[in-house]
Amino acid sequence: MDLSQYKWQGYARTDGRKGIRNKVLVVYTVECAAFVAKEIARQANNKDVDVIGFSGCTDNAYAIRLLVSLIKHPNVGAVLAVGLGCEYVQPQRLADAGADAGKPSDWLYIQNEGGTAKAIEKGLGVVLNMLTELKKTPRVEMGFCDLVIGAECGGSDYTSGLAGNTVVGAFYDKLVDTGGTAVFEEIVEAVGLIDLLQKRAANDKAREELTQTYNKAMDYCKSVRQYSISPGNFVGGLSTIEEKSMGAFIKSGTKPIDGVLQVSEAPTRKGLWLLDSTPDPHWMQFGITNPNDNEGLMDLIGCGAQVVFLVTGRGNVVGSAVAPVIKITGNHETFMNMNDDMDFDASAVLYGSKRLEECADELAAYVAGVCGGGESRAERLGHKEYFIPYKYQNIKRCGDD
């Protein structure tokens, strides 16, 4: 099925990107400001108000880039930055980033406002005004060609590599063919796949980026003496890291890989991209690649993904701030057992009752529904997790020193 038939109304942003949500994003700059920020969002009592923040307070470049990329994200219509008043991370600079992207933006210091209650009162007023303002955001027709979609897996079991990720891979092939953009991650789960990665490179530059990224991830695995596979994986039937890796990699589909993104970097053109979330080598001791699933989802959203997939076998419940999470499982029992949380059952491909192609088309229809304003399971339940850690990763391209 041709995905270009799907069209829905999105939100026009001044940078040319299109959003599928129109959120007010409340951003705190340090843990000391987190309560006030969360209370502003709670009292606004509107599903379009999300909170993210950084525990701070030292202004880690990686975390700042991620915050700014989320502020500029196409699903975000307006920004309120909330600081305490003595931290390194500057709420005014964050609000400036929002204003640069043409969004109503404001900021406050709790110390200047006179404490918790007054800061909440002021912030709430700002957010309520922004919600009114956002009703005027111009609507624009959009389709799959305007989307960036990210995918990662978590809580994997034997079905993830056989059904969940294969359906995502088949869908990604269609997305790329339609002129959309697909991002996949988990390079530490590409062990043994260097030949395959190189063969999939769209051009020489992409091949060099993929090779460097693979080698960095391998160095990481060797230096921490840990591959991304656990006793539970072995009990579940995965015998080697190569087997788990291929099960994860298969979600990238079969199209050429256009290059490698660092966290917070938007793709420079449409196509298929690998997201590298591994810390840089000289800082490796200060960062863990993917401490949890929400960190991985946040990284994908930071690259501009308007919607993200979480493929799970054993089941996961999380959603995310900024972008809807669609949870896909290849395990029919998990789908039934955690039905309120699971968006999509991909298990039919295992039993031969549906073809891969058919499942990919059904997934496309579901994604189009969510993009058109339908709630994902996590949105319906109110999940809005986020995770922005300290990490050290320079944005550099091949050829740079």
Residues of the shown chain interacting with other proteins in the complex, contacts defined by CB under 8 A: 157-159, 161-162, 166, 191-193, 196, 225, 227, 229-243, 246-247, 250, 332, 350-353, 355-356
Alpha-carbon distances of 226 from 187, 191, 235, 237, 276, rounded to whole Å: 14, 12, 18, 19, 18
- Measured from the CB of residue 155, what is the shortest distance to other proteins in angstroms? 14
- Measured from the CB of residue 88, what is the shortest distance to other proteins in angstroms? 40
Per the CB < 8 A criterion, the answer to whether 359 and 346 are in contact is yes
- Measured from the CB of residue 199, what is the shortest distance to other proteins in angstroms? 11
Alpha-carbon distances of 115 from 3, 15, 91, 95, 110, rounded to whole Å: 52, 36, 16, 20, 5
- Measured from the CB of residue 343, what is the shortest distance to other proteins in angstroms? 20
Q: What is the DSSP letter of 278?
A: P
Residue number with CB closer to other proteins (24 or 162):
162
Residue ranges of alpha helices (H) inside 225-328 are: 231-235, 241-249, 293-302
- Measured from the CB of residue 228, what is the shortest distance to other proteins in angstroms? 10
- Measured from the CB of residue 341, what is the shortest distance to other proteins in angstroms? 21
- Measured from the CB of residue 366, what is the shortest distance to other proteins in angstroms? 21
Residue number with CB closer to other proteins (262 or 347):
347
Q: List, edge to edge, every strand of the sheet that includes 18-19.
A: 18-19, 8-12, 139-142
Residue number with CB closer to other proteins (1 or 336):
336
Q: What is the DSSP letter of 184?
A: E
- Measured from the CB of residue 252, what is the shortest distance to other proteins in angstroms? 12
Distance CA 54, CA 31 (A): 7
Per the CB < 8 A criterion, the answer to whether 319 and 292 are in contact is no
- Measured from the CB of residue 350, what is the shortest distance to other proteins in angstroms? 5
Do you know the residue count of the chain? 401
What's the angle, vertex CA 122, arms to CA 47 and CA 386, rounded to 5? Answer: 40
What residues are paired with 386 via a beta bridge? none
Residue number with CB closer to other proteins (250 or 368):
250
Distance CA 347, CA 331 (A): 6
Residue number with CB closer to other proteins (65 or 216):
216
Of 86, 23, 36, 26, nearest to 56 by C-alpha is: 86
Per the CB < 8 A criterion, the answer to whether 54 and 82 are in contact is no
Distance CA 193, CA 184 (A): 15
Residue number with CB closer to other proteins (89 or 311):
311
Residue number with CB closer to other proteins (19 or 164):
164
Distance CA 242, CA 191 (A): 6
Q: Return phi, psi of residue 86, to 5°.
A: -130, 10
Residue number with CB closer to other proteins (31 or 242):
242
- Measured from the CB of residue 41, what is the shortest distance to other proteins in angstroms? 41
CA dihedral (258, 263, 269, 272) in degrees, to 10, reads 40
CA dihedral (236, 242, 243, 244) in degrees, to 10, reads 60
Residue number with CB closer to other proteins (134 or 241):
241
Residue number with CB closer to other proteins (105 or 156):
156
Both structure tokens of 290? 């993917």
Per the CB < 8 A criterion, the answer to whether 209 and 259 are in contact is yes
The three-state secondary structure class of 238 is: coil
